[in-house]
Amino acid sequence: MLVLINFACSNPAKDVMDAREGANNFHGYFRAQNYEAIYTNSSQRFKNVRPLADYVSMMKEIEGEYGKLVNVQEAGSATVINSDVGKMQVLIFNLEFEKTKATERLTFSRDEHGQMRLWMFELS
């Protein structure tokens, strides 16, 4: 029996590059207060966590408490494997807002069409 494994779909450098592009888009939308665009371009799992209106409300609360997003600096990245989702890219950022600083973790995964989508957003 011959088993062929296609590694063409698995390009770690491209995965990280695509996740960084997704993060750049996320931060651009964040700065522009276009929270609906973040939601629309996210994974289905992300959308299943809360409805759009609740997500927009949460993001407005963050902005009210922290102020506008001023500076974003990548602090690290990792590739992780989720048994349900597969390979995911995790990017850590140090954020500076008008009123405070925070650490952000963005997790991205590829959807069924191969597009890198935001899977999880955490802010602390």
CATH number at residue 36: 3.10.450.100
CB 35 within 8 A of CB 54: no
pTM, to two decimals: 0.86
Predicted confidence (pLDDT) per residue in 97-115, tens digit: 999 999 999 999 998 898 9
* Within a domain: 27: yes
* Within a domain: 22: yes
Distance CA 86, CA 114 (A): 12
* Within a domain: 1: no
Our measurement of the distance from residue 30's CA atom to the centroid of its chain's CA atoms, rounded to an integer in Å, reads: 12
Confidence of residue 10 (pLDDT cuts 50, 70, 90): low
* Within a domain: 2: no
Give the three-class secondary structure for 23. Answer: helix
Exposure on the CB side of residue 58, measured as CA atoms within 13 A: 13
Q: Quick check: 33 pLDDT over 80?
A: yes
* Within a domain: 3: no
**In total, how many domains does the chain have?**
1
* Within a domain: 44: yes
pLDDT of 81 reads 87
| Percent of the chain surpassing pLDDT 90 | 77
